[in-house]
Structure 1
């Protein structure tokens, strides 16, 4: 079989410089591999099989090195010996090994439709959209992308500007088909008196008639030959009976100076931008199974629930999804969480989406999260594809407290937000749509120059500047919020106030052999510091006091056990459980620990005792507070013998 290299020349009427598509993507304010991860995952999600939401999607990134007989398949079967206009590719395949970075998805529909772009069709055109065309029509269904330039990031990621594409899909007649084709985007060049666009394909030579004549071009390999090429390149590993269709794209000679470091960054990027797909929150959403591998060895993908920032984003996301319908921009819910719907207000009221916010105990430092920035007033902007567009920095809350939030675009506004994104889809920019009259008329349902994206950011800033304390409700709820503010700031002076909480908690001395420390004892060894951070009201007007527990201990001291001891506070002393029982007084009850740990292997806590094998990022203790009494909390430390859970003697 003769391999045909289609080296595209400019038509007499003009054409498209391949380098223009690459320049569009390299001009974005985002790292190449961040764009690579986002674009490839977006493509896979858009291609999911929507017939069922139970079969799921596999998304995988694999780094491999081709050598030996597999490398010979690349040289003699896939590419042949014509490298005109692609000298870097020629040099690479002459090496003893060729590295590949393959992005695979299965449980998706693959690149469907005809293999050439000449004929007009009302059916599927995913193959020609990815392999043949650059740019996209506004008439096409809007999924994640709006420009059609995103595919260029695959070529940017290659040191030789070349990728291979393998897809198991259906053709224009809805018949099963397997296809394999190679393609490159390089700088345009002159060959004698002929100008070349810099676009290349390797496949089977074919001719097609156009409206102005006939052209020669490269058709993909199909059937057994396509499968043979894919197997040699390791591009068929994720197809199965349960997920028989999909696409694999291999980047030849990926621009990774250190493959393991690069793959770990890709794994972190997946968690950073796609964590909504890593948590079970929407039952009708196709689950995605993620893989990142270095030559067959798995690279860990950070779990969002173990990330101190993403854990809070996840909680606000769940609340945004469960919001009840509303016609007003009024904050609802509790002191820690608040939700509202965002509307335009002019020229007519249109919903833009749902906003959910959580107040944080403290900012989350950049070094402690995969988000890549310190989280102190950030809102994750999310469209219907359920991937993060950006972590937008909102204004400070008037209380000075840090917060994080999630905004979910309303389905009716999704198209407007999508069109406001640049080619990398990493922000919403109202200037991008200010002159799109048709889009604005579609959104408003009438002629309007008002820009809904600009209105969105104006409303967001106003909403987020308002203190939740001024908007959570009327009557007792408002008084309860005010009492919490006072308790946080003036707890030292409220030891005997009705329903108060005393924040005067000293550092107890180290506990040895189970002996508790007294308040006036000298501090020795590891200590704790306890601070009230919240009061929560639940059903039946039950109040829960939440304390932040800080441990001051060297890492060599671990493992340790923390024992929480709630007490009733009076003017002169602390009332213990046995004394309260004798007096017939209701006593505060310890409810739970909440621990954010660097290592999920910490020994589980039992009741009011918590065992830690290493320092925790954040520790909170919740205590049920009886009505009409003030409470305080002591936390004692006991050193344990390593690996035994027994007290260190």
Structure 2
């Protein structure tokens, strides 16, 4: 077993310095919970540390309760000497469970370079170790980077109830792959009394004490042995990368299983593009989660991701589908391309509109998903293809459709958008940019995205009376999911604001009743945009029934009993018998019960959606 590690507690220099509490507060007051922050920061850092520019990164989070013998070994080696105001030893020696998270990456460089902040690196030498373990924040210096080992690294400490982590890393050194191990904590600042009294920042490191009294990381075989105390599954000797152990994660009142399910959802919500942005659509990054030896499934097969995938590919230069649009967004003064916005629409369906498709355990710890149904979400992202945030557009009229989109920043202005992000990388804040041109870029992009999304979600305008085949195609494809709505034997169902349905008189169960067959179709009938609804009349054969069409229009605010002044109104164009002949062109038609499939053709006004219900009055 390695020798016990030495503790180094940082003393405030004469010129002042950053306290541990100040470092912890560098993330401000983020909207996301601590584990969402942890996942986002860790994945961004792992991607920035990739060996291959194209990707090939594996990211994992595993967790387990540390067994008693491992806890005793930690007390005897890593944490033999601990400040009195850090309860690490108390927790390790206690009787309650002691969970540990292991955050690993593979296909990455590891934390190489100098081990002390005052050592000048050689030309071309990385500074990854000191960036993560020593400095309290570093400016971004990576092209198209996501994380920077800067202020956001506080997320690792904030996820620990002890504000303590251990780091094991392997990197390519001058003589081959080398190992390092070090522990660190962010505790309260404190003072000692007496003739040698000093003020301490609250930052602590555990490692091997050098001759000058500074604690450096443990290296070589001893570093690997220390890592095995925390996790027997230490990476292979030639596999570079980093494992960060979060001690005593702050689960609170939430079960570990729910926390892991929430982290799985965070991975998909913010990093799904990495699953399709590699060569030929392959993943450029893969993910795995495991708690107590049980794999946690990523919710990647939920229907919303397919629509967002299509939007991402379209924004990346692929051809949009019939139900989508791609817009180039640019500023005029100064003239600059800002990025591509792809918007995709599809019919609303029972899978999404009916409610959640997964259990509550897969929701975020805050109890709310980022992407909810029905979809109307636009993912904003920069060059690393990480989702910075989602914005919600207006709902599609009456919930007849859902849509999603992706805005990808142009590479030439990626740095400006990156500088507009807070340390949590979860927003674009133009007011924090110093350069006027950069503020303009971000503001223009935000404004144009909002305008284009609102226009995309609005009802599609069709010129009545046109017979142009291209207009027919545009009419059907641009409506996409915004097809008319059908309701059997009564009026429209509840409005989107949850109001009570208004029911019309209908036949009793013993009389004839109508049943719509399939979905309504869109057509141009004598040059008039129309919906065609097929139905059957069920009941005692040989009887007749009078069927009346009850159609209503819906504009942005919901259904209108009386259409706006000067507006078109839906009207019945024809009723057709099972053999296709016209039996009536009025608002009602007398039909034979149980005689086959009938149809009704109703015009669709421009700038409005139409719903149709059938009212029935049984005959003799």
- TM-score by length of structure 1 reads 0.67
Q: What is the Cα deviation at residue 397 of structure 1?
A: 6.8
Question: CA offset at residue 87 of structure 1?
Answer: 2.9
SS state at 2:108 partner = coil
1:454 to 420, 443, 452: 443
Whether contact under 8 Å (2:341, 2:406) holds in the other structure is yes
Q: In the superposition, relative to structure 1, how do residues 201 and 486 fare at CA in structure 2: closer, same or farther (>3 Å)?
A: closer
The structure 2 residue matched to 1:16, chosen from 12, 15, 18, is 18
Number of positions where the alignment pairs a residue of Structure 1 with one of Structure 2: 491
Contact 1:166/1:235 (CA < 8 Å) preserved in 2?
no
Contact 1:28 1:423 in 2 (8 A): no
Q: Give the match for residue 171 of structure 2.
A: 169
Secondary structure at the residue paired with 1:151? helix
CA contact (8 A) 1:10 1:196 kept: yes
CA distance in 2, matches of 1:138, 1:30: 22
Distance in 1, matches of 2:479 and 2:394, equals 24
What residue in structure 1 maps to residue 518 of structure 2?
530
Which one is further off, 412-421 or 71-80?
71-80
For residue 326 of structure 2, what is the aligned residue in structure 1?
A: 339
* 1:431 corresponds to 2:459: no
Separation (CA, whole Å) in 2 of partners of 1:396 and 1:488: 13
CA distance in 1, matches of 2:239, 2:31: 37
The answer on whether the counterparts of 1:397 and 1:464 sit within 8 Å (CA) in structure 2 is: no
Structure 1 Cα separation of the partners of residues 130 and 216 of structure 2:
11
Is the Cα–Cα contact under 8 Å of residues 431 and 439 in structure 2 kept in the other structure? no
Unaligned segments of structure 1, at least 5 residues: 208-214, 325-331, 441-447, 492-502, 508-520, 537-544, 550-568, 577-649
Given that 2:86 and 2:187 are in contact with CA atoms closer than 8 Å, whether structure 1 keeps it comes out as no
Q: Structure 1 residues 23, 449: CA separation in 2 closer, same or farther (over 3 Å shift)?
A: closer
After TM superposition, list the pairs within 5 Å mapping 1:367-446 onto structure 2. 367-368=356-357, 371-395=370-394, 402-433=402-433, 435=434, 437=435
Separation in 1 of the partners of 2:102 and 2:126? 24
Give the whole-Å Cα distance in 1 for the aligned partners of 2:532 and 2:408.
29
- Partners of 1:153 and 1:15 in 2: CA distance: 20
Contact 2:177/2:240 (CA < 8 Å) preserved in 1?
Answer: no
The answer to whether the 8 A contact 1:342-1:459 is kept is yes
**1:111 counterpart = 2:111:** yes
Specify the alignment match of 2:307 in structure 1. Answer: 312
1:127 shift after superposition: 0.7
- Listed one character per residue, the Cα deviations across residues 472-494 of structure 1 (whole Å, up to 9, x for unaligned) are xx964345324678999997xxx
Kindly indicate whether residue 141 of structure 2 is the aligned counterpart of residue 131 of structure 1.
no
Q: Deviations over 1:446-490 (max 9, x none)?
A: xx475210111111122223358579xx96434532467899999
* Cα distance, 1:64–1:428 mapped onto 2, change above 3 Å: same
The secondary structure found in structure 2 opposite 1:59 is strand
Matches within 5 A, 1:484-499: none
User: For the Cα contact (< 8 Å) 1:333–1:339, is it kept in 2?
Assistant: no
Identify if the C-alpha distance between structure 1 residues 333 and 251 changes in structure 2 by more than 3 Å, giving closer, same or farther: closer
Output one character per residue of 1:516-565: Cα deviation in whole Å (capped at 9) or x when no partner: xxxxx98999x8863337789xxxxxxxx99999xxxxxxxxxxxxxxxx
Question: Counterpart in 1 of 2:261?
Answer: 264
Counterpart of 1:531 in 2: which secondary structure? Answer: strand
What displacement does 1:276 show? 1.4
- How far, CA to CA, are the matches of 1:282 and 1:244 in structure 2? 23
Provide the C-alpha distance between the structure 2 equivalents of 1:154 and 1:3, rounded to a whole number of angstroms. 21
**Cα distance in 1 for residues equivalent to 2:93 and 2:455:** 64
User: Which residue among 359, 377, 381 is the counterpart of 2:345?
Assistant: 359
Task: Specify whether residues 85 and 63 from structure 1 end up closer, same or farther in structure 2 by C-alpha distance, changes over 3 A only.
Answer: same
Change in 2 beyond 3 A, CA 1:140/1:85? farther
| Secondary structure, aligned partner of 1:264 | helix
Secondary structure of the equivalent of 2:262?
A: helix
Q: Is the 8 A contact 1:505 1:530 kept in 2?
A: no
Residues 92-142 of structure 1: per-residue CA shift (max 9 Å, x gap): 122255321111111111112111121222421111100010111355655
Matched, 1:287 2:288: no
Distance change in 2, residues 1:76/1:341 (3 Å): same
Q: Distance in 1 between matches of 2:378 and 2:285?
A: 24
Pairing 1:189–2:190 present? yes
Greater alpha carbon shift after TM alignment, 10-19 vs 307-316: 307-316
1:228 aligned to 2:214? no
2:204 is the alignment partner of 1:200: yes
The alpha-carbon deviation at position 70 of structure 1 amounts to 2.2
Which residue does the alignment assign to 1:466? 455
RMSD: 3.9
Structure 2 unaligned regions, length at least 5: 359-368, 490-508, 525-530, 536-572, 581-620
- Evaluate the alpha carbon distance shift between residue 2 and residue 358 of structure 1 in structure 2; reply closer, same or farther with a 3 A threshold: closer
CA distance in 2, matches of 1:66, 1:424: 30
Given that 2:105 and 2:243 are in contact with CA atoms closer than 8 Å, whether structure 1 keeps it comes out as: yes
Cα shift readout 1:592-643 (whole Å, capped 9, x = no counterpart):
xxxxxxxxxxxxxxxxxxxxxxxxxxxxxxxxxxxxxxxxxxxxxxxxxxxx
CA contact (8 A) 2:58 2:107 kept: yes
Cα distance, 1:69 vs. partner? 3.3
Relative to the length of structure 2, the TM-score reads: 0.70
1:359-394 deviations in Å (ceiling 9; x for gaps)? 242375773475453444320111122121111123
Shift of 1:10: 0.6
**2 CA distance for matches of 1:408 and 1:397?**
23
